[in-house]
Every structure is written in structure tokens, then in C-alpha cells.
Amino acid sequence: MVSQQTIDIVKSTAPVLKKNGEQITTRMYEIMFQNHPEVREQFSMAAQADGSQPARLATAVYSYANQIDNLPALKSMVEKIVCRHVQTHVTPEQYPIVGESLLQAMKDVLGEAATEEVMAAWSEAYQALSEVFIHREDEIYMGEERKQQLVHL
């Protein structure tokens, strides 16, 4: 759970994210693929090239900022993302890679508006959201594992 201060700060950034979201997420992918080329194969390069992947992520980040205090409103979006993560075999160890890249991209794009306070709030918010994804993905992976065990009985 995130603090009320973090909720307030993250919600206050929603308009900036709506305006600059695609620029931030495009920069995030540049940083991530440069620093961690091993994750590149999990992404559609066609969706990178045509901008649809950064656009989808920008929408998700904006939605989270806007609804951070009402996570049930994001359930459908979270489920869709989780399904994609399971299809592409995302691991819990990859979340810090994405988080670091996203935070650096926010700093790069937002400049002075990315104050220490804003970045600390987004760090906390990202960590909380990543835990939601990891937990739900683990549930699906465990369910798939159980299905495989039943098939082999």
C-alpha cells in the first residue's frame, strides 16, 4: 500500500503524464533496451516501431496515476497486462529493470518537474503496482503448473 502523500503526488502528475506520456514511454524503452538488451526479445519490435507499444504503456501509466487511489477501477487493465506478461514470460526480476528505466525516462523528459519528491513518490507507486502484477502473475503461473501436473498423472 502506498502512503497518502504518494497518492497525492502521483495523482498531481496525471495531467503531465497525459501530455508527455508517449514521450516518456518511448524514452523508457530506449533506456531499457540499451541497458538491458536481454529483455528485447520479449517485446514486439513492430509495436515499438509503429509506436503502439509506447502508446499503450503511456495510457496504462496515466490510468494508474489517475486511479492510484481506486485500484479496483484498473482491474480490467491489470488483467490484460498480466495476460500479456504471462504470454511473454515476464519474471519478477524484470520489474526493477522496467522501473529504473521508467523513472529515468521521467527524469529525462520532465526535467526540473521531476523533483526528488515526485521521483520518490513514483518509485513507491511503481513498486506497489509491480507487486500487484507479480502476485497476479504468480497465481496464473501456479495454475498453469497445476494443470500440467494433472495432465501428467
Domains of the chain, with CATH numbers?
4-151 (1.10.490.10)
Span 44-69, pLDDT tens digits? 889 999 999 999 999 999 999 999 99
Q: Would you please indicate which residues are annotated as catalytic (active-site) residues?
A: 95, 137
* pLDDT tens by residue, 5-15: 999 999 999 99
C-alpha cell at 9: 503526488
Q: Which pTM was predicted?
A: 0.90
Q: What is the pLDDT of residues 70-100, one digit of tens each?
A: 999 999 999 999 999 999 999 999 999 999 9
Rounded to whole angstroms, the Cα distance separating 27 from 108 reads 8
Are 61 and 75 contacting, i.e. CB atoms less than 8 angstroms apart?
Answer: no
Percent of residues, the chain, with pLDDT higher than 90: 87
Residue with cell 521508467: 102
113 CB-near residues (< 8 Å, 6+ apart): 16
